[in-house]
Amino acid sequence: MTAVATLNGTALTGRQLDLIRRTIAADCNDTEFDLFVEICRMRRLDPFRKQVFPLVFSKDNPQKRRMAIVVSRDGQRVIAQRCGNYRPASEPADIVFDETFKSPINPKGIVLCRIKLWQQDKQGQWWPVIGEAYWDEFAPVTDEWAYDQEKGKRLPTGKRTVDGNWQKMPVLMIQKVAEMQALRAGWPEEFGDLYDEAEMDRARVIDQDASEIVSKEQEERRLAAIGGKDTLLVSFDPMEVLERVPVGKFADRVIEWVEQSCDGPGDFRLFMERNRETFREFWSRAPADALELKKWTEAKERALLAQEDAETPDIVKTLRAG
C-alpha cells in the first residue's frame, strides 16, 4: 500500500481503511487488499459509494485464487465522463428477442443486446461505439444438483437454471454487459482491466461449482441424516424442544397451532415473536405460500383483537380509556 492511501485527493484514515478491509474487501488477503486500494486511488473510485469492489475467486485454492476488480454502472459512467470524449447512449438499447429461445434459462427469449455509445475524435466529430452481448455467452447458466437419498450423494437433476438477477431482470443484466463491452471497445486504457458485476456472474457460478460442491454435498448429507433438509425449526410450545417441520407443511401446522392453542392476541403475538426468523426463512423458501400465510395471520390477529374487545367488560374499557 502507498504510504498515504488517498481517495479523490483526500487521505483515507486508518479507520476508513479498516472499515473497507472488514466489509467491502473482506475476502481479500493483504496483497489483494493493497492492490484494491491502489486501484481505487488510481481510478478515483469510491468503494463507500459502491462504485467499485473486489471479487475473489477460488478463495480456498491458492493455485487458482484470483481477484477481479468489479466496477458498478455508476462507477463506469464516472470514469467515462472524466475521459472528456464520451457521450452516453442517445437511444434505447437494441435487444433482439426470439420466442423460440424462451426457456427456464432464458425467460424472455433474449438473443443479444446491442448498445451504441459515442466517442469524439480530435476533430470534434462524434462516432458510434458499439457494444454487443449475446445471452448464451454471458448468462450464468448452471446444472441443478440435488442430494439423492438412495445413492447417498449429489447428482445432477437434469434441469438447468439461470442465476439470480438474470432470472429476475434479464433485460437489465444483458444491457449492463453490452454497455461495458462498448466502454471497453472505445476506451480500452480506462476499462481494459475492469469488469461489470454482470460479466462476472457466469465466472462466479462456475467457481462455486468447482470449489464448493464438495462442502455443499457434505452439508446436505448432514442435513438429510438428521431430517433437516427442506425443513424449518419451529417453537410451538416454549416449554418443549424445537420441532422440525417440512417446508410444504409449515403453513398448515402454523394455522392448526394458532387455532387450537392461541386463546388471545397475547398468545398469538408471543408465538409469532418466537418464530420470527423461521417465518423469514419460510418467506425466502416459499414466497407464494408465505404470502398467503401472512394474509391469514394478519386476519387472525384482527379477529382475536376483536374477540378480546367484545369480551372485555365496559367498566374495564372505561378504566383503560381513563
Rounded percentage of the chain residues whose pLDDT exceeds 70:
83
**Roughly how many angstroms between the first and final C-alpha of the chain, as a whole number?**
68
Pair 77, 175 in one domain: yes
Q: Is residue 261 part of a domain?
A: yes
Reduced to 3 states, what is the DSSP secondary structure of residue 296?
helix
Pair 77, 180 in one domain: yes
Pair 178, 95 in one domain: yes
Strands 153-162, 231-234: pairing kind = unpaired
Q: Give the pLDDT mean for 70-83.
A: 92
Q: Is residue 210 part of a domain?
A: no
Q: Is residue 53 part of a domain?
A: no
Q: Which of 159, 188, 217 is the last residue of a domain?
A: 188
The residue segments making up the domain with residue 126 are 72-188
Contact 124, 114 (CB under 8 A): no
Q: Is residue 37 part of a domain?
A: no
Pair 250, 163 in one domain: no
pLDDT above 90 (res 169) = yes
Overall number of domains in the chain: 2
Q: Is residue 194 part of a domain?
A: no
Pair 151, 241 in one domain: no
Pair 169, 270 in one domain: no
Pair 80, 139 in one domain: yes
The answer to whether the pTM exceeds 0.75 is no
Contact 145, 157 (CB under 8 A): yes
For the ranges 25-29, 32-36, 147-151, which has the lowest average pLDDT?
A: 147-151
Q: What is the dihedral of CA 214, 217, 223, 226, to 10 degrees?
A: -90
Pair 145, 253 in one domain: no
Count the helices and strands in the chain (H runs, E runs): 13, 12
Encode burial over 268-277: b for 16+ CB neighbours within 10 A, e otherwise: beebbeebee
| Beta carbons within 10 angstroms of residue 170's beta carbon | 20
Q: How confident is the model at residue 238 (pLDDT cuts 50, 70, 90)?
A: confident
Pair 86, 179 in one domain: yes
Q: Is residue 105 part of a domain?
A: yes
Q: Which three cell numbers stand for residue 41?
A: 486511488
pLDDT value, residue 217: 47
Q: Which of 137, 170, 188 is the last residue of a domain?
A: 188
Contact 69, 54 (CB under 8 A): yes
Q: Is residue 199 part of a domain?
A: no
pLDDT above 50 (res 209) = no
Give the chain's mean pLDDT.
82
- For 65-169, where are the alpha helices, taking DSSP H only? 73-83, 135-138, 165-168
Q: Is residue 162 part of a domain?
A: yes
pLDDT above 90 (res 137) = no
Pair 162, 270 in one domain: no
Contact 224, 147 (CB under 8 A): yes
pLDDT value, residue 174: 95
Q: Which three cell numbers stand for residue 208?
A: 462455486
Contact 117, 129 (CB under 8 A): yes
Q: How confident is the model at residue 213 (pLDDT cuts 50, 70, 90)?
A: very low
Please give the DSSP secondary-structure letter assigned to residue 123. Answer: T
Pair 183, 253 in one domain: no
Q: Which of 136, 163, 188 is the last residue of a domain?
A: 188
Distance CA 297, CA 288 (A): 15
pLDDT value, residue 192: 81
Pair 266, 184 in one domain: no
